[in-house]
Structure 1
Amino acid sequence: MSLSTAALATRRVLAAASHSSHEGGARTWKILTFVLALPGVGVCMANAYMKMNAHAHHQEEFVPYPHLRIRTKKFPWGDGNHSMFHNPHTNALPDGYESSHH
């Protein structure tokens, strides 16, 4: 057996082994998706929903730290005191939460 014949035989064996090890790979990933990934996403969604409900009416106590909510100039929209994505329930203004003002 010459060197090129041996190399060709080795290449064929490796190619056959490589091909057989990949057989059914798509089926394996499909099963893993339905058995692990989708239930995992469902568990994470349920966890987030339960945490959201548990903290729905909880508001942090306002502490006027001097290094937070600094306004050196007004915002160019609205009254100039609310940030672009302001949420009155979770984002405090420099003088406190809006819900405590009303």
Structure 2
Amino acid sequence: MSERALILPLQMSFSPAASAARRLLAAAAAHSGEESKARTWKILSFVVALPGVSVCWLNAHMKGKQHSHEQPEFVPYPHLRLRTKKFPWGDGNHSLFHNPHTNALPDGYETTDH
């Protein structure tokens, strides 16, 4: 084998055209891999995630119907429901998202029937 035959492939491998061709082939290979990954995630979303969310929603819905929503007995613990200053809305005693059936005031619940 001649010395020129050994040098020629080395020169071609470092040429800008060769590296551009390598980049193009690598990008094409990466792109086809991305398509298959996207397809896999799409299939998993429809086959696993959506039925899983549906089963969880159904479970929560069924358990929600089983439990009665009774108001717990009010116990005036001294370390709970402290008011060092009034809230800047309303009468200053109710929290921003106050529910009279669920949230107690420092002196007890507002209503006892629901």
| TM-score, shorter chain, exceeding 0.5 | yes
Residue in structure 1 matched with residue 98 of structure 2 by the alignment? 86
Tell me, yes or no, if structure 1 residue 77 matches structure 2 residue 90. Answer: yes
SS at match of 1:23: helix
Contact 2:71 2:112 in 1 (8 A): no
SS at match of 1:18: helix
TM-superposed CA distance for 1:90, in Å, is: 1.1
TM-superposed CA distance for 1:91, in Å, is: 0.5
Normalising by structure 1, we get a TM-score of: 0.67
Mapped to 2, the partners of 1:72 and 1:46 lie a distance apart of: 43
The correspondence for 2:28, drawn from 12, 16, 22, is 16
Letter in 1 for 2:52: G
Higher helix share: 2
Decide which structure has the larger Cα Rg and report it: 2
Mapped to 2, the partners of 1:46 and 1:20 lie a distance apart of: 38
Question: RMSD across aligned C-alpha pairs, in angstroms?
Answer: 2.9
Pairing 1:41-60 to 2, within 5 Å after superposition: 41-60=53-72
Q: Which runs of 5+ in 1 are unaligned?
A: none
Paired-residue identity, %: 65
Mapped to 1, the partners of 2:64 and 2:96 lie a distance apart of: 23
